[in-house]
Amino acid sequence: MMDRNTLLSLLRGEDDSLLARADQVRRTVYGQDVYIRGLIEISNFCKRNCLYCGIRAGNPNAKRYRLSPEEILLCANHGYDLGFRTVVLQGGEDPFFNETTVCKLVEDLKTAHPDRAVTLSLGEQPKSTYKAWFDAGADRYLLRHETAIPTHYAQLHPADVTLETRKDCLFALKEIGYQVGSGFMVGSPGQTLEHLAEDFAFLSELQPDMIGIGPFLPHCDTPFAAEAAGDLDLTLRTVALSRILFPHALIPATTALGTLHPKGRELGLKAGANVVMPNLSPEDARARYTLYNNKLHTGAENAEQLDLLKAQVEAAGYRIVVDRGDVKR
């Protein structure tokens, strides 16, 4: 781990070569390859009440939906035909998607295409549930820690959840054998550069396989409706630092980055990201899975328009590959 003062100076933008250095590291480890993941947003029912999130339980304006296991399988298999060798099932903490239901879903996905990786992003669960899903065939799990400072965690979440539990979940996932992804938002209310330095210290402890970082973006029906969005350049610097500190990590150019700026996705790739996660959800589900306002789900964010994404990625100097895209350790 880099010393804290160096880290802070890089976060402040005092080194103009940071992004280019990150791109160099990325090219050394992953060449010009960009891995694609087909994202299916399976449900926006959520029992949690995270203050930043548009699908929080306390948002009465959210139009709730839940895909059926049959719909999910159809979407995923269509994605396979398009070239997606990883499917990501993401959703709110919806009790419908319990241990048994998700086990069956993962088994069916693996039976249909054994060469496909399955990533789950279904929040905090008991370790036994994580284990059951892993044994059913799940390969990876995404669970951002959101912030590594307990008091800041408490500013972003209601009192029924703690940073400690979140960390326990992440270490449990690692122990079980998942490729584990964590990460955080840049510019969440109350966040300072010191907080970000602590986020990197936590990541060093966790040694995640994947690191998801995007700007905070306000949602009009949350307590943070009036808060400012995260800064583009600071977000890019955190992506670059992630690449430099964790050369082998799988790092997405996130939808939030693409939403913040028209060239956000390409800029993310040039700052060290090597993954993109276009949306495979049915059209009406996409519109309802609004974690923040104006969330992109058309154009290159649409898995159907892979050609558009390919062209953008190539214009940025990289190339999309048809591959599971596992972490290189």
Q: Taking contact as CB under 6 A, which single stretch among the options 20-28, 29-37, 193-201, 211-219 is the one that binds ligand 5AD?
A: 211-219
- By beta-carbon proximity to ligand 5AD, the closer residue of 137 and 230 is 230
Q: Which listed residue (144, 166, 167, 265) binds ligand 5AD by CB under 6 A? A: 144
Q: For the purposes of burial, counting CB atoms within 10 Å of the CB of 81, is it exposed (0-12), middle (13-18) or buried (19 or more)? A: exposed
Q: Taking contact as CB under 6 A, which single stretch among the options 3-11, 60-68, 164-172, 215-223 is the one that binds ligand 5AD?
A: 215-223
Determine the Cα–Cα distance for residues 296 and 298; give it in Å rounded to an integer: 6
Q: Taking contact as CB under 6 A, which single stretch among the options 12-20, 98-106, 209-217, 278-286 is the one that binds ligand 5AD?
A: 209-217
Q: Which residue has the tokens 């290189």?
A: 328
Longest dimension (CA), the chain: 52
How far is C-alpha 313 from the geometric centre of its chain's CA atoms? Answer: 19
Tokens of 194: 């010191």
Within 38-67, the residues that bind ligand 5AD by CB under 6 A are 52-53
Q: Which listed residue (291, 296, 313, 316) binds ligand 5AD by CB under 6 A? A: 291
* Residues contacting ligand 5AD: total by CB under 6 A: 12
Q: Which listed residue (170, 185, 253, 273) binds ligand 5AD by CB under 6 A? A: 185
How far is C-alpha 198 from the geometric centre of its chain's CA atoms? Answer: 19
Specify whether the CB–CB gap between 239 and 194 falls below 8 A: no
Q: What number of residues does the chain have?
A: 329
Q: Which listed residue (141, 246, 292, 318) binds ligand 5AD by CB under 6 A? A: 292
- By beta-carbon proximity to ligand 5AD, the closer residue of 258 and 325 is 258
Q: How does strand 210-215 pair with strand 275-276?
A: unpaired
DSSP lists the bridge partners of residue 33 as 319
Specify whether the CB–CB gap between 147 and 163 falls below 8 A: yes
Q: Which listed residue (40, 249, 256, 296) binds ligand 5AD by CB under 6 A? A: 256
Q: Which listed residue (166, 167, 219, 270) binds ligand 5AD by CB under 6 A? A: 219
Which residues contribute to the site for ligand 5AD (CB under 6 A)? 52-53, 144, 146, 185, 214, 216-217, 219, 256, 291-292
